[in-house]
């Protein structure tokens, strides 16, 4: 199994959720996060004073899928989250050794 973590722009969340839903992904975890990459934040003007916004709002989407579904999910996230502008985000794919559904005790792919 694979865990896919995608850091995306907040306004792209619905597009990503719909795209993954079309692939049959039924569950995901979403968190509002802040961070920066190459864009290094930006400056804003407030009451005539300029200040630096170091950490930009992002959304982190986490899903765990069968190994054979991982590449389709990654491609779907890339297509639906892409704007072509700096700050589109990143995707991290890692191995998952074990998954357990607490309610039933099901394990691994049966628990996804």
**In the chain, domain spans:** 2-110
Give, for 14, the enclosing helix (H) or strand (E).
helix 13-22
Low-confidence ranges of the chain (pLDDT < 50): none
Supply the pLDDT for residue 39: 64
SS3 92: strand
Supply the pLDDT for residue 56: 83
Rounded to whole angstroms, the Cα distance separating 85 from 98 reads 37
Supply the pLDDT for residue 54: 72
Supply the pLDDT for residue 89: 93
Supply the pLDDT for residue 112: 85
Supply the pLDDT for residue 40: 64
pTM: 0.85
CATH of the domain spanning 2-110: 3.30.70.120
């Amino acid at each position: 199994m694979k865990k896919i973590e995608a850091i995306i722009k907040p306004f792209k969340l619905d597009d990503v959720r719909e795209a993954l839903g079309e692939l049959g992904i039924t569950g995901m975890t979403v968190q509002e996060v802040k961070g920066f990459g190459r864009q290094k934040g930006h400056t804003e003007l407030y009451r005539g004073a300029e200040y630096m916004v170091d950490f930009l709002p992002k959304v982190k989407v986490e899903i765990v899928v069968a190994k054979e579904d991982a590449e389709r999910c990654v491609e779907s996230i890339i297509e639906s989250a892409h704007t072509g502008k700096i700050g589109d985000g990143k995707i991290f794919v890692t191995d998952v050794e074990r998954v357990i559904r607490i309610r039933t005790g099901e394990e691994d792919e049966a628990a996804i």
